[in-house]
Amino acid sequence: MSDCIFCKIAAGEIPSNKVYEDDQCLAFYDLSPQAPVHFLVIPKTHIPSAAAVDSSNSAVVGHIYEVIAKVAGQLGLDKGFRVVTNCGEEGGQTVGHLHFHVLAGRSLAWPPG
């Protein structure tokens, strides 16, 4: 999608601090970290949100969870981490391209606000 910031990051048109990349997804550090480790994993294809995941595009979600486990291992996040997907206005989504926050490096409170 031409006006989507995460599509532009996936295409390399906007720079990012990359953690991992393959043909299906990209992981990069969040500009506004909410924990000592905070990166995002996005599909390279434009999926607007978790509400738009269906049988035509869900394979990349499983792939992204494999990538999260691999990158978490590489970064030594052995004390644990949290994966968050905000969806829609009340879910706190601000960028309309599916993304998975991975947060680690401190004890994370539950429930979220």
Residues near ligand AMP (CB under 6 A) are 5, 14, 16, 28, 30-32, 40, 86, 92-95
Q: 1: closest CA among 41, 39, 49? A: 49
What distance in Å separates the CA atoms of residue 106 and residue 35, rounded to the nearest whole number?
Answer: 7
Q: 104 — phi, psi (to 5°)?
A: -165, 170
1 binds, among ligand AMP, Zn ion, none (CB under 5 to 8 A by kind): Zn ion
Q: Which is nearer to ligand AMP, 60 or 103 (CB)?
A: 103
**Residue 41 or 72 with smaller CB distance to ligand AMP:** 41
Give the shortest CB-30-to-ligand AMP separation in angstroms: 5
Q: 37-43 and 100-104: which strand pairing?
A: antiparallel
Residue 104: both structure tokens together: 């680690």
**99 is annotated as an active-site residue:** yes
Catalytic residues: 99
